[in-house]
Structure 1
Amino acid sequence: MTLLSVGHACVDVYQGTVAALVPFFVAERGWGYAAASGVVLAASLLSSVVQPSFGALTDRWALPWLLPVSTLAAGAGIALSGVCGSYRLTLAAVALSGIGVAAYHPEAARVARVAGRGGHTAMGWFSLGGNLGFATAPLLVWAVVAVDGLRGSPLLAVPAVAGAVASGVALRGTRRVAAETAGGSARVADGRDDWGSFARLSGAVVCRSVVFLGLSTFISLYVRQRTGGGAVAGTAALFVLYLGGAVGTVAGGRLAARFRRVTVVRWAYALTVPAVAGVVLVPGPALYVFVALTSAGLYVPFSLHVTLGQDYLPRRMGTASGVTLGLTVSVGGIASPVLGAVADATSLRTALVPLIALPVIGWLLLRTLREPEPPRAAEGPATTARSGTATAR
């Protein structure tokens, strides 16, 4: 689980770096809000389109090699984005990174579920790795780009190399477990797929995604306006937004061990509403407090989305993982250019106001959800997978 968490951190660095690079694209290349948010869209759109396909593939076949290969692809795209000479090539580079991120998550989530024996806390630690990668991204980008400008972006490939090595070592130690749990023939769950509940859960996660990626894209620029600070003030706000996820993810797993997951998720969405309102409406340094509260509220349900989705679709865990951990996270980036266009036409504050309402919509979708029973693996290969996991750990 430690190696898988490290690998997850190294992949999700590249989800965080896209937003962290936006202010530098604006400063060095003179892009407007809409053009800059188009970079986020490029990373998100292809990821959103291909993610279900990777989930379906991992439902049928074992694809453990996807972990290191997709990590390297994610890093290569970001490394190239800063040195591409045109807007189109920059979009292509970040799109490559988005495909790498999309390919990684379904397989990794399934392996993590088995390695953690289906526990909510274990999935929380796996998700924590990704959140720490998000949190590290602004600091990493600032350290590299602030010194040498965008032409220093090839150095951003270093985490990808480290992540590929960590994933490779993890897969060597758990090769049998990964192979048995990655293919649909090796996981015959006892239960029926509840597509209705899964659809409502996915709708709520999309609302969460739009809020998170909308803030990720523009919070750095917005904080500079609201506080009068420079690049450091904006980078600090983005770091707080990502770092709060570390606390929220662990807290979510622990709360789910005491209360029902659906209850915890509902409360998280409800509490996110005033937190986002504070980010958008409160001026001055107090804004940082609301950024931290928003981050915690958005991340408490993060790992719970994954296990809930897997339990709603026990026969299609790869698809469930791809949607809840990847697709509905990246699809929020599709809304970023809309926010950017509104900001160009009016103001950045006006563009961010609608984000306050989205957690309310998410709560309404979650209100009628039932708590699913965790799927019980059938006798045979799945039982072997559990014993193999214990040995690997």
Structure 2
Amino acid sequence: MSRPASLLARLAAAGGLLLAAFAPAAAEPVTIRIGYAAIGVDNRPYAEGTSAATARAGNYVEDAFAGNPDIKVEWYFFKGAGPAVNEAIANGQLDFAYQGDLPSIIGRANGLKTKLLLASGAHKPTYIAAPLNSGLTGIKDLKGRKVAVQLGTNNHLAFAKILKAYGVSERDLQIVNMDSASANAALASGDIDAAVGDTTLITLAEKKIAKIVYTTKGDDPRLGRYAHVLVTEAFEKAHPDLTQKVTTAFVKAAHWSSEEPNREALIALWGKSGTSTSVLTEFFSGETLKYRNTPLIDDLFIDQYTQAAAQSKAFGLLRRDVDLTGWFDTSYLNTALKELKLEGYWTPYGADGKPLGS
């Protein structure tokens, strides 16, 4: 090679190295792992009754990353509910999760590093059912009876609050730890006197196998169940941009789930879980979709979690105090509300359970 040609070759090579040095690095593939503290009928990978369930069934999170081959979304559903979600978070197997108040508080007390991003299923009612031929008619009739509830879940905490409100102690009952499927079977066979739950109990009542003897629906809203979508601190710190996109996707799902013209379509979508549309219709009867599907972390939500932390220790569900400082991170929610022009769409509630400004 002649000297000028050799020089040109060296310059070209050097230029290529410079371009490579200043070229943007290829994005690292990321798998977003979302856990859900419930599972559909016959272990279907769907749920119902919350905006998070809508996000899953309607592919809202997947759609947020459509066209980006470096982002993969995976959903995991847990028969073991909240306690099983805690175990998965502790093992580094999840980045986001839908979970109830009590298990997430227990997780925080045990050192799990998470942030609560938005409410989902924040006003879900709790039901108590008894065998069809039972003489039980209300909460006070539960004294001395064998009652099934899945311990460590938000149903457990709601049940403790209900008992206290009606002057009954857990010591007055025979508490049996059962998941919903086991409780349903025991209720149908008469092996227990009552069970705590929601749509599965409505299903038994619809089939004339059991009867509903109490529901928090229409009672003090502070007796209901509270749940949320959370993110692990590790994922949020590493991927604030992805955390925002996921949060915005959940808020979009909450908005669609809150529009009354969508009620029939919403219930049909949740039917992917295997729960019948008639049961879901009853589950949401008498309440607005906006109330049931609000994503707001309002004064009622924060107060209920604060009270839940204190009550969990008082009820013997926790052995230590838990500090909630910095746990509620509404920055991603507020950005999503502004971006989607949904500021003021949902009604915030005060700690007294009443709409603010009413």
Q: Shorter-normalised TM-score: what interval? A: under 0.3
Larger Rg: 2
TM-score by length of 2: 0.24
Task: Give the helix-richer structure, 1 or 2.
Answer: 1
TM-score by length of 1: 0.22
Task: Give the strand-richer structure, 1 or 2.
Answer: 2
